[in-house]
Amino acid sequence: MAITRTPAHLGSVLMMGLVSQIAQVVMLRELLMLFHGNELSIGIILAAWMAWVGMGSAIGAWLAGRHERVLGVMAINAGLLLPVLIVSVLATRGLRGWFDVVPGAYLSLTDIMLSSVLVLAPVCLLVGMQFVLLAKLWRQHDQSETTSGAGKTYIGEAVGNIAGGVVFSLVLVHWLNAFQIVVMVGALVILAVLWAARSSTEFGDQVGRFGKRALLALLLVTGVGFVWLGPLDEFGHRLQWSQLAPGHELIEVRQSKHGNISVARIDDQLSFYRSGHLMFAAAGPETLHRHMEEQDAAVFAHFGLTQHPDPRRVLLIGGGLRGTLGEILQHPVERVDYVELDEVLTRAARDHLSPATLAALDSPRVNLIHGDGRLFVKSARQSWDVILVDVPDPATAVLNRYYTREFFAEARERLEPDGLLAIGAVSTPGLRGQGVANRNATLMHSLEREFDHVLPVGDRMLVYLAGKAGRALSTDPLELQQRFQQRDVHSDAFRAAQFHLLLEPGQLQRINWVLRHHGRSPAAHLEPPPSAPLRPPPVDEQRRIQADWPAVNEARFINSDFRPIAYFYSLLLWGDLTRSEQAEQLAGLMRVEPHWIAWPVVGVLLLMVVLRLFSRQALAAPERRLAVGLAVFSTGMATMAMQIALLFAFQSQYGFVYEMIGLIVALFMAGLATGTAIAQRWITDRANLTILARVQGLITLFALSIALLLPLSSQMPGGASIFVFFACLTFVSGLLNGVDFPLATEAFRAINQRAERSAGLVYGIELAGACMGAALASALVAPIMGIVACCVLAAMANGTAWAALMIARRSHAT
């Protein structure tokens, strides 16, 4: 007779999901700080996480096979997890010192992979062990020989994941530091084990009196030491900044839903960082002379505004805190709508910046808006004479959103008929270097897709000016100088004579010639930019004759929301500038061709055919093992590739995902739990390969559907509709994955007749597939081949698994 009472270890199952989710997000945020906020590392971090969890599940399966009374092992696991979480966070903050890298340089892909693997191993091994141990406890509770306990554990873990994601996003990220968060969840795991031991005599004997006392003592020490976690967090930040920016004094660190805001000082210069990525630098309040950053801000503001004969309404996205806002107010504008993403960053800046910057923020002509600039433009109903986008280079996926043709199209719709857009990017004299040439030519060609007139101006810093039809852009320094003087502009950081320097005909014509020519051959992304002739034609003539030149290589030199290639080139640029190993690695990735994926697909299917022809008609035939394993692996790989695609696409449309990542994961896990429950409840013949093949086919069709639907998201009007759209896709993705797990687990059990081994094997193989999917999607496919290509990769993986299952299935009942 089935046992229906609530199992004593249910709390441990829920806590496993909760601590796994919260620990994953905490470690992800900590590692992103180490990696300068570079989202290309997200897949590598998740891959390392899943690889070690899979290894932990294998260890758990080994232990479960040798110990019938496993709650004692769970107690040891819980006791180790809490201190391991604390040490892992602290180790992450001191990890940069282990690498030979100059201050400010990005870690290479090899360094990112090594860092992730080393720092995540202890936590993930302990988390991975818990799944199989808890699955055995549930099977013992149900007195069953099937893998239903694994399915129930899978559902319980998913429920815990949902709770962890919601609690982190809505509460923890706003009120607690990283150490306080991991200590809290570690303590909850210990309490859950103690509750299981207290609620059941049988399970309680497994823990033992000494074990209970040891866990209670650990909880007592943790509670007493909780007050010291604030100073420990401060020590960790100072340790990290002593390696990230030697010579800088860390002034303060503030928690934000968008990432840690750090303020550092060197001499009289203040630098403001978000998640380790430099947002801007400015002089302190006592400084009398403008710094280079503020001089760049002045050039950017005055070039943009003097290109318009009478700018009245101006939109500024970012940059106001580094001085751009004050320079704009030198002109007789009526209103400036200034959009700054993070209110925490603004509050931090108010405590440190000059009186002039503070006066600009408080000017009655300024309308300060805290929110995402991209969403603001998309949902706005007013129009502007000039839009100035003063954000850092597209060195992260979230910054790349302001450099795509979709954003340029949205900005164009918000400009008056004679309006113009200005946006800046770092360059090098003569555009020397593969990364800088590729990136800046990509911005040029992307702007020209949406604007009739585009003019890049500058040397080490390029200002791109873009105007609609009828808005001719002036290259005459006398005209711009006259407007500047007529408006009676007085700037300490910019003089009228600088128009002549920046618009010197020879330099201006060379820059335009190189940027307009580069990117017009199939292999241009692998070649240096073309040399300009000794006397390039004037810019107006270049505009006229470029219609006769070869077409731009769209795949490599048009930056879009769904192919963020400028983001990849920006990383290559910074690798070139710092002479790091990353430049060589990224250059190698550019040589990867999409058709290479065909070789493993063909190889797997040929192997299936050979095994099918030469194996006997047996339940444990090798082609059945391979087909089921491939189905599990491909489901993990496809689900993670789709998740990376959805995450990147959601970020490009909605903005920062740091505040939402917990909710996004919660939606996925809700789908996962629902799918697993459906399979457990409604599918009786769960070992049937035909049913498993149909699920693989559904995942294939769903991945192809996402590939078709994602580009439509750029046309959605506002944040609410975008969130609902991505929430539905994320939920369905989790649901299909959830249906697949109990089917594959039972199919393996039918082959090897061992429940725990089957659960651990399926869990580990699925994580291995997810590991590969995460790494490929975020580090290679999404930035180079495009976000839609991630969905195509997912469809190919599951399509291959479907074909393998169709080859392996038997005509007789399984």
Q: Which residues are catalytic, by number?
A: 390
Beta strands 269-274 and 261-266 are antiparallel
What's the token pair of residue 410?
A: 């949205």
Checking DSSP bridges between strand 415-426 and strand 461-467, what pairing results, if any?
antiparallel
Which tokens in the block code for residue 165? Answer: 């994601």
Separation between Cα atoms, residue 134 and residue 156, nearest integer Å: 10
How far is residue 430 from each of residues 296, 530, 585, measured CA to CA in Å? 18, 11, 24
- From residue 564, give the alpha-carbon distance in Å to each of 41, 150, 559, 707: 15, 40, 5, 16
Dihedrals phi, psi of 724, to nearest 5 degrees: -60, -40
Cβ(437)–Cβ(518) under 8 Å?
yes
Secondary structure (DSSP) of 173-193? HHH--HHHHHHHHHHHHHHHH
Residue that is written with structure tokens 């976000």 in the block: 787
What does the block give as tokens for 744?
A: 């594959």
Which H/E stretch holds residue 794? Answer: helix 787-808
Please give the angle made by the CA atoms of 709, 794 and 705, to the nearest 5 degrees.
20
Rg (CA), the chain: 29
Q: Where are the alpha helices (DSSP H) in 430-497?
A: 434-450, 477-486
Q: Burial code of 632-663, b = ≥16 C-beta within 10 A, e = fewer?
A: bbbbbbbbbbbbbbbbbbbbbbbbbbbbbbbb
Q: Which helix (H) or strand (E) holds 464?
A: strand 461-467
CA 290 to each of CA 348, 589, 675: distance values in angstroms, whole numbers, following the listed order: 20, 41, 60
392 within 8 A of 273, measured Cβ to Cβ: no
Q: CA 83, CA 551: separation in Å to the nearest integer?
A: 59
Q: Using an 8 Å Cβ cutoff, are 323 and 282 in contact? A: yes
Q: Which residues contact 524 (CB under 8 A, 6 or more apart)?
A: 438, 518, 553, 556, 557
What DSSP character marks residue 563? B
Q: What is the dihedral of CA 421, 425, 428, 431, to 10 degrees?
A: -60
Strand, coil or helix: 735: helix
DSSP code of 285?
A: T
Tokens at 73, concatenated: 């092992």
Residue 374 and residue 407 in contact, taking contact as beta carbons nearer than 8 Å: yes
User: What type of residue is 165?
Assistant: G
- Tell which residue, 740, 727, 738, 555, has the closest CA to residue 647: 727
SS3 420: strand
Name the token pair of 435: 């990364």
At CA 127, angle to CA 124 and CA 130, rounded to 5?
150
- Report the relative pairing of strands 335-340 and 366-370 from DSSP bridges: parallel
Q: DSSP of 368-409, one letter per residue?
A: EEES-HHHHHHH----EEEEEE----S-SHHHHGGGSHHHHH
Q: Is 110 left (phi over 0), alpha (psi -120 to 50) or beta?
A: alpha
Q: What is the DSSP string of 505-522?
A: HHHHHHHHHHHHHTT-ST
Contact 453, 418 (CB under 8 A): no
Q: Where are the beta strands (DSSP E) in 150-291?
A: 249-254, 261-266, 269-274, 277-283
